[in-house]
Amino acid sequence: MSVIARFYGPEAGKKHELGDKIKDSLDQLSELRPFPASVSSLLASLNDPQANAKTYANIIECDAALAVRLLRAANSPLYGVSNEVRSIEHAVTLLGVRSLKSLALSLAGASLFHTGSKAVQERQQVWKHSLGCATVARALARYTTMVPHDEAFLAGIFHDVGKLFLYDFAPQDYATISASDDLIEHERHLFDVTHEELGIRSASRWNLAEEIKVAIGYHHRSAEAPTHREYATVVSVANQLAYLGGVGSAPNAHAIIDDAELEFLGVPRDALPTILDESNHLFGHTQQICA
């Protein structure tokens, strides 16, 4: 029996049991992968009013991988620095607290997609699309100015994180429906929970900002966002634009960019090719930073 048939067949009742199991695991933190200790320490210090650039640099320098990625980011076209950045403290000063926090979280988020023994190929596809969506969201945010571009990037990185838990619990079933145009409806019927809902639960456990949680939880229904609609809308448009333009995934001519969302953001449709060109240009740099 196919997965789709089970939505309405005699096995459909099992969806509640599976959905409850997934949600319970999130509540118990048994399926959540913690951020690296260095990132957790950095995030704590970024919220400490007594900390300064040297404090942040000392933490970052204790994690070679994080230090290399930070320097790579500071010297990339993403930040437009004219002179080479050679020290962590210099990079921290140039980036500022907000950008540093978003970058650290984005780099930590990357590790979530590269762990887990189930549906490895599918998880990598989710990661590459998430990176593409984040790149487009950043470019879109620069155009609309309604959302800080680093926070738009962070929201794009995490927008599909809920899919990882569905792949963990039901890899074959979820792979069957993952490319569906009605993904949210199919998730609801099969699991009694959606990747948006799982994403917002995990974001709450990670203490991500409310704006980022809204973007994760409403990127398929941005008009319903109770607050911070601009974050959900930027990610919604970036999600579809990344698919349409093949940024991080194969081009999908069926991806739809909603006129109402563009109007809300104040972005004319004829600006989309420029945003896509910028995104495609920067995607390779983004991959190098988050590798």
Question: Dihedral sign, CA of 232, 133, 271, 96?
Answer: positive
Percent with pLDDT over 70 in the chain: 87
Alpha carbon separation from 179 to 175, 254, 255 (Å, rounded): 8, 12, 12
Q: How confident is the model at residue 280 (pLDDT cuts 50, 70, 90)?
A: very high
Question: Cα separation of 60 and 41, whole Å?
Answer: 9
**Phi/psi-derived region of residue 113, left when phi > 0, alpha when psi is between -120 and 50, beta in every other case:** alpha
Look up residue 214 and give its amino acid. Answer: V
In this prediction, residues 246-263 reach a mean pLDDT of 90
Q: How confident is the model at residue 182 (pLDDT cuts 50, 70, 90)?
A: confident
Question: Cα separation of 106 and 149, whole Å?
Answer: 13
Which pair of tokens denotes residue 202? 């995990």
What confidence score (pLDDT) does residue 206 get? 82
What confidence score (pLDDT) does residue 116 get? 63
| 15, pLDDT greater than 80 | no
Most confident option among 114-118, 187-191, 239-243: 239-243
In this prediction, residues 187-196 reach a mean pLDDT of 90
Q: How confident is the model at residue 10 (pLDDT cuts 50, 70, 90)?
A: very low
How big is the chain by its Cα radius of gyration, in Å?
Answer: 19
CA 123-127-131 angle, to 5 degrees, is 170
How far from each other are the two terminal CA atoms of the chain, in whole angstroms? 39
Q: What is the DSSP letter of 266?
A: T
Q: How confident is the model at residue 156 (pLDDT cuts 50, 70, 90)?
A: very high
In this prediction, residues 244-258 reach a mean pLDDT of 88
Percent with pLDDT over 90 in the chain: 44
Question: Cα separation of 164 and 186, whole Å?
Answer: 16
Q: What is the mean pLDDT of the chain?
A: 85
Question: Cα separation of 59 and 72, whole Å?
Answer: 17
Closest CA to 171 of 134, 132, 122, 231: 122
What is the phi/psi pair of residue 221, to 5°?
Answer: -155, 60
C-alpha 68 chain-centroid distance: 21
What confidence score (pLDDT) does residue 4 get? 37
| 75, pLDDT greater than 80 | yes
In this prediction, residues 93-99 reach a mean pLDDT of 87
Q: Domains in the chain, ordered, with CATH? A: 10-31+117-291 (1.10.3210.10), 34-114 (no CATH)
The count of other CB atoms within 10 Å of the CB of residue 125 is: 19
Which pair of tokens denotes residue 158? 């995490």
In this prediction, residues 61-66 reach a mean pLDDT of 88
Among 15-24, 38-47, 165-174, 219-228, the minimum mean pLDDT is found in 15-24
In this prediction, residues 243-260 reach a mean pLDDT of 89
Among 7-11, 92-96, 98-102, 140-144, the minimum mean pLDDT is found in 7-11
Which pair of tokens denotes residue 233? 């809308």
